[in-house]
Structure 1
Amino acid sequence: MFTGIVEERGEVVDLERLGDSAQLTVRGPLVASDARRGDSIAVNGCCLTVIGLAAEDGLFTADVMAETLSRTALGAVTPGQLVNLERSVPATGRLGGHIVQGHVDGTGRVLRRDSTPQWDLVEFALPATLARYVAEKGSIAVDGVSLTVVDVRDLPEPAFTVALIPTTLDGTTLGHKRVGDEVNLEVDVIAKYLERLGTAASAQAPRQGAPA
């Protein structure tokens, strides 16, 4: 599990295609410093398992499965590109952001960016299938960054707005995203479970007029 508090910006060193999968090598001195094979590291919000390390060079390698390549923006990364990195949170750690699984639900894109001296307001389009999980003042992870939703709209296409403070602009890749750029989205897992519980309860409820 993660919290959406990015620890460092890493650099993609290589993305080696292996048929329907790939191996991703990233330079991230902080997260690689105490990593071990089998550990989980979120790369732009995608939970990946460490399979190789060169800690002295600040490098780690992870497998990227076909499901991840098809549902996230990781398949399009190139050497030299910066990515957000976060190690999995220990049981005794602080939940500084919100509960982030590292299971990307889909991708969105930057629609608009308005800069002010104090912060940036950024609007993202999101898939219609995810819009119902996004609520004003709720939480969402964008490229692995825990953010609070400022507002939501449904037309002319589903979209939400967030405010990026200087710390987020300086310490994550979101400070460099431009209109049209693709991002990974993970909606609040609690919203998904609540929907599932409600659907299951409705399906099990006796129909009107039917014997209980």
Structure 2
Amino acid sequence: MFTGIVEELGTVAAVEDQGDAIRLTIRAEAVLADAGLGDSIAVNGCCLTVAERDQDTWTADVMQETLDKTSLRGVRPGDRVNLERAVTAATRLGGHIVQGHVDGVGEVLRREPSEHWELVEVSLPPELARYLVDKGSITVDGVSLTVVEAGERSFTVSLIPETLARTTLGVRQAGDRVNLEADVIAKHVEKLLAGHLPARPAAEED
């Protein structure tokens, strides 16, 4: 489990194509302080397992399912990525509960800079719209954010200078793909209430 508070920007050092998977090597500092084999580290919001590590890099195996469902497909050496270690019992929950299980991929639609913050609109897969509410939580590329306005096809978030400086969201441009994870609490509530709610139209079914 994660909190969506990015610890550092890592750099993709190598990508080894294995046909139906890749081995992804990332250069980092903070997340390697206590990382061991088998530990979980979120990369742009995707929970990956440390398979190898040395002094300044770590390697994870990324399976086809992850490549098909996330923006890690097409990642290249030199790309910057958001990194966060899994939480511990003593960790502050600074963001919200994040599983590192990407629900879908959105696209940055527009950016509106202001003097002290920036408004960003991101497209939203229609099946995720029901989980977003104004002032609710959404994870974008592993960053815990508050929804400003939730629509059926897109949503907006406001990015403070800290987020712009310390995460990949500071450089994402219109057309860039980003990983999205909806609030897991909303998904559990829907599951528990499923028997008491009217059936969704077939076009909305997952």
User: TM class, shorter-chain normalised?
Assistant: over 0.9
Letter in 2 for 1:115: P
Partner of 1:126: 124
Letter in 2 for 1:106: G
- For the residues of structure 2 that align with 1:96 and 1:177, how far apart are their CA atoms? 23
1:85-120 deviation line (CA, Å, top 9, x unaligned)? 000011111000000000000100001100011000
Among the aligned pairs, what percent are the same residue? 60
- For the residues of structure 2 that align with 1:202 and 1:15, how far apart are their CA atoms? 45
Aligned with residue 146 of structure 1, among 144, 147, 161: 144
- The TM-score normalised by the length of structure 2 is 0.94
Partner of 2:186: 191
Partner of 2:169: 174
Name the Cα RMSD after superposition.
1.1
Deviation at 1:150, TM superposition (A): 0.2
- For the residues of structure 2 that align with 1:52 and 1:32, how far apart are their CA atoms? 11
Letter in 2 for 1:70: D
Partner of 2:19: 19
Deviation at 1:201, TM superposition (A): 5.0
Letter in 1 for 2:164: L
- Bigger Rg over Cα: 1
1:146-193 deviation line (CA, Å, top 9, x unaligned)? 000000122xxx100000000000000000000010000000001111
Partner of 2:50: 50
Partner of 1:206: none
Partner of 2:66: 68
- The TM-score normalised by the length of structure 1 is 0.91
Letter in 1 for 2:10: G
In the alignment, structure 1 segments of 5+ residues that lack a partner are: 204-212
- For the residues of structure 2 that align with 1:180 and 1:74, how far apart are their CA atoms? 15
Aligned with residue 156 of structure 2, among 158, 161, 167: 161
State the aligned residue count. Answer: 198
1:113-148 deviation line (CA, Å, top 9, x unaligned)? 000110000000010011111110000000000000
- For the residues of structure 1 that align with 2:81 and 2:112, how far apart are their CA atoms? 22
